Structure 1
Amino acid sequence: MFEFDQYLGFLAFLTIATIGFWLMIFLISFVVPYWIGGSIMEMIKEKREEKRKKKELNS
């Protein structure tokens, strides 16, 4: 059915595909939400700071 070099190539393909699959699962479930959440928090902090500075200038 398979010769030895074909078998090694098939195993290499499966290994790379599996690593890619789990990397995508990790990125989608942890890294991207963390990145988006951090960006939103940073945007909220900047808006608070901007409001505080405007309030100080008006006082």
Structure 2
Amino acid sequence: MFEFDQYLGFLAFATILTIGFWLMMFLLLFVVPYWLGGNLLEIWKEKREAKKAKRAQQ
């Protein structure tokens, strides 16, 4: 079967793999949509401000 140091190595590998998996899930499910939503909101605000400035010039 496994020696004790091989068992610890496997546990370290499994821990790092699990942490990486949940970090990726967190980034994909929360951070990326938040970033995209904020980006789209900023673009929308800039376009709205440009329209207001154009109306003010006329």
Query: How large is the Cα RMSD of the aligned pairs?
Result: 0.5
Identity %: 69
TM-score, reference length from structure 1: 0.95
Deviations 1:25-59 (A, max 9, x none): 1111111000000000000000000000111111x
* Runs of 4+ deviating beyond 2 Å: none
1:4 CA drift (Å): 1.0
**Consecutive unaligned residues in structure 1, runs of 5 or more:** none
3-state SS of paired residue (2:24): helix
Alignment: residue pair count: 58
Gaps of 5+ in 2: none
Q: Report the TM-score, using the length of structure 2 for normalisation.
A: 0.96
